[in-house]
């Protein structure tokens, strides 16, 4: 029985997308008679009917390639049922184009927003498989997402390189790591890169505690310090505000990103030191996937093909206890996997003497 499979990549790009696409395709060609349709630019392409028939040769030479051969675009889940000025009913258009393409199923590679839309389409009666991609590692139902370990490698390399210039100049370097809601990337790269202070969205920081940690290092003869801070980190005061209040507060103080703010605030409180901000930005999600992510992406793609072979739809692929598995999309969509404040990674960081910017010195 021939199966016609649509594949799209949505949301932000990251290393491993092409490796995963390749895994789905090559396993599908091996397991059953198949035709594969590549949908351009994520859900936008599904809405607009922008797709192309793929050949087996399209999936050669892409294992090590960063980004996505299908292109991607952010189409917010919150806008999926909103009729905008173009008068397009997005959900209706996606269902119509799914049928127009004569798809037997649709494989959606993406993060939290992508999985929410995938679940919406599943609830609308389409055959959907979700694959967990994000450098943030914050998708519920999987221990790890592909793209995360590649980003950890890149962010750790940034911290390693900043160490030498911080030591040479005797500076405090504040390195801003991607992660708006969850701090997995900052925590892993911070520990791996030997950061002295790690600030996460899950643990609001106290600026006085941060400065005390810097003073303590100086008193013990340390001439420099490294702070790894997630872009979504916030102070104890900000954590007590509502979203609009926090936005107004940040506008009032001229907030231009957490690293810039912290470097300036630290230098004002500690004029005897020199603080600088480092923002590696989108380089954290670029380039070739690590060997780990190539393997993980391939395994995830193969598992998706196996689900299609068994006609097990409405599932999100994941990994639990080092075993590739799957969960219903309905149990994954809309849930964020945060760094647990009492998790073993946090306990290990505290045991190493790393300050997390709060008043809890040790577990």
Residues taking part in catalysis: 136
User: Is residue 154 within 8 Å of residue 280, measured between CB atoms?
Assistant: yes
- The single-letter DSSP state of residue 358 is S
DSSP reduced 3-state for 240? coil
- The single-letter DSSP state of residue 324 is E
Q: What tokens does 326 get?
A: 């799957």
Q: What tokens does 44 get?
A: 């936008």
- Phi, psi at residue 351, to the nearest 5°? -65, -25
For 174-213, the DSSP string reads EEEES-SS--HHHHHHHHHTT-SEEEBTTB-B-HHHHHHH
Give how far Cα 189 sits from Cα of 136, 158, 168, 286, Å. Answer: 12, 9, 22, 16
Angle at the Cα of 339 (from 213 to 293), degrees rounded to 5?
110
- Which one, of 8, 24, 22, lies nearest residue 307 by Cα? 24
User: Is residue 66 within 8 Å of residue 289, measured between CB atoms?
Assistant: yes
- CA-CA distance, 27 to 59, in Å (whole number)? 11
Angle between helices 112-123 and 90-100 (to 10 degrees): 70
- CA-CA distance, 343 to 292, in Å (whole number)? 23
Angle at the Cα of 36 (from 27 to 334), degrees rounded to 5?
80
**Count of other CB atoms within 10 angstroms of residue 134:** 27
CA dihedral 305, 309, 310, 316 (to 10 degrees): 20
Q: What tokens does 83 get?
A: 């009729």
DSSP reduced 3-state for 148? helix
């Amino acid at each position: 029985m021939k199966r016609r499979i649509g594949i799209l990549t949505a949301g932000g790009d990251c290393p491993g997308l092409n490796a995963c696409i390749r895994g789905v395709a090559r396993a599908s060609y091996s397991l059953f008679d198949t035709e594969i349709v590549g949908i351009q630019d994520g859900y936008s392409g599904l809405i607009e009917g922008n797709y192309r028939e793929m050949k087996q040769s399209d999936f050669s030479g892409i294992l090590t390639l960063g980004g996505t051969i299908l292109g991607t675009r952010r189409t917010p889940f919150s806008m999926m049922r909103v009729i905008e000025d173009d008068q397009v009913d997005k959900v209706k258009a996606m269902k119509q184009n799914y049928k127009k393409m004569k798809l037997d199923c649709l494989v959606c590679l993406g993060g939290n927003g992508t999985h929410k839309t995938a679940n919406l389409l599943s609830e609308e009666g389409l055959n959907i498989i979700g694959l967990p991609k994000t450098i943030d590692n914050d998708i519920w139902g999987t221990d790890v997402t592909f793209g995360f370990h590649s980003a950890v490698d890149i962010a750790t390399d940034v911290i390693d390189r900043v160490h030498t210039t911080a030591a040479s100049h005797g500076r405090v370097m504040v390195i801003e790591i991607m992660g708006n809601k969850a701090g997995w990337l900052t925590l892993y790269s911070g520990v791996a890169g030997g950061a002295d202070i790690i600030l996460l969205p899950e643990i609001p920081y106290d600026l006085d505690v941060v400065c005390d940690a810097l003073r303590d290092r100086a008193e013990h003869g340390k001439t420099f310090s490294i702070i790894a801070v997630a872009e979504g980190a916030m102070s104890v005061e900000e954590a007590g505000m509502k979203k609009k209040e926090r936005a107004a507060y940040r506008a009032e103080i001229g907030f231009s990103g957490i690293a810039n703010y912290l470097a300036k605030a630290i230098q004002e409180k500690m004029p005897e030191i020199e603080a600088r901000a480092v923002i590696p930005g989108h380089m954290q999600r670029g380039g070739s996937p690590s060997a780990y992510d190539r393997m993980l992406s391939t395994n995830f793609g193969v598992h998706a093909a196996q689900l299609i072979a068994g006609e097990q739809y409405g599932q999100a692929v994941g990994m639990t206890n080092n075993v590739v598995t799957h969960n219903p999309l309905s149990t994954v969509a809309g849930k964020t996997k945060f760094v647990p404040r009492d998790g073993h990674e946090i306990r290990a960081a505290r045991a190493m003497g790393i300050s997390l910017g709060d008043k809890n010195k040790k577990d």
